[in-house]
């Protein structure tokens, strides 16, 4: 299947720049994988596993099919945490949310063979990000990924297309903690300090307040 816009991509229409992420090849030897951080069920035969790097600060992403390891790839430092995903996927790509040099980035791997598809920075004009310890990091409907980025006094929600790697829209959010985010009724709903706001999944247009 074609990689479409992933190679050499930039976030189109939202002003993010290509990150120039280095080439991380499939890893067969050292550095060594460490403890499992999280595991995601793709379907009845397929799982994505995120692991620590033994003795390091990078991470490994693995694809398991029918109980067997299909591939393993080394990535920069994972921005998700146990129970809070920093990955999204569809039939073409697995995107991994990472932090490098104080910036939030997307690191994308081909689902078929872990080939590096591309990478880009999120919120490049906002300054350094915070390693999020509260609230969600990545949510997805497996068509787009919706990335919640946090820095001192600010948040930004960025949507990009998983098949093409192209940015779709972004929304600036207040600096108050994000308590919850979900996708329902064709919108991404974000709750901060008891206030729930919705943004259309296709265009980011804000929806009328939904109190649910």
For 109-140, the pLDDT digits (tens) are 999 999 999 889 999 889 899 999 999 999 99
In a domain? residue 212: no
pLDDT given at position 181: 98
- CA-to-CA distance for 10 and 37, rounded, in angstroms? 29
Residue 102 φ then ψ, to 5°: 80, 5
Tens of pLDDT, residues 133-183: 999 999 999 999 999 999 999 999 999 999 999 999 999 999 999 999 999
Position 28 in a domain: no
Q: Which two tokens stand for residue 23?
A: 């080439």
Q: Which CATH number fits the domain that encloses residue 158? A: 2.130.10.10
Report yes or no on 184 lying in a domain.
Answer: yes
**Residue 154 falls inside a structural domain:** yes
**Is 50 among the domain residues?**
yes
pLDDT reported for residue 64: 98
Distance of CA 110 to the CA centre of its chain: 14
What distance in Å separates the CA atoms of residue 107 and residue 22, rounded to the nearest whole number?
Answer: 10
Q: For 36-77, what is each residue's pLDDT tens digit?
A: 999 999 999 999 999 999 999 999 999 999 999 999 999 999
Residue 105 lies in a domain: yes
Contact at 8 Å (CB) between 144 and 168?
yes
Q: What residues make up the domain containing 163? A: 33-207
The answer to whether residue 169 is domain-embedded is yes
- Compute the Cα dihedral for 124, 24, 53, 97 and give only its sign: positive
Evaluate whether residue 191 is within a structural domain: yes
Stated pTM of the model: 0.87
Domain total of the chain: 1
CB 35 within 8 A of CB 45: no
């Amino acid at each position: 299947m074609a990689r479409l816009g992933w190679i050499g991509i930039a976030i189109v229409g939202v002003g993010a720049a290509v990150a120039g992420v280095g080439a991380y090849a499939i890893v067969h030897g050292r550095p060594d994988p460490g403890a499992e951080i999280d595991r995601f069920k793709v379907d009845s035969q397929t799982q994505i596993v995120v692991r620590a790097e033994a003795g390091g600060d990078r991470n490994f992403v693995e694809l398991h099919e029918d109980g067997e390891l299909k591939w393993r790839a080394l990535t920069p430092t994972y921005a998700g945490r146990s129970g809070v995903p920093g990955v999204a996927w569809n039939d073409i790509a697995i995107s991994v949310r990472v932090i490098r040099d104080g910036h939030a980035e997307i690191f994308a791997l081909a689902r078929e063979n872990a080939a590096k598809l591309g990478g880009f920075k999120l919120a490049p004009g906002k300054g350094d990000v915070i390693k999020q310890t509260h609230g969600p990091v990545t949510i997805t409907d497996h068509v787009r990924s919706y990335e919640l980025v946090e820095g001192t006094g600010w948040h930004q929600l960025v949507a990009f297309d998983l098949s093409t790697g192209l940015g779709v829209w972004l929304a600036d959010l207040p600096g108050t903690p994000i308590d919850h985010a979900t996708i329902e009724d064709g919108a991404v709903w974000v709750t901060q300090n008891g206030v729930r706001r919705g943004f259309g999944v296709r265009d980011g247009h804000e929806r009328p307040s939904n109190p649910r």
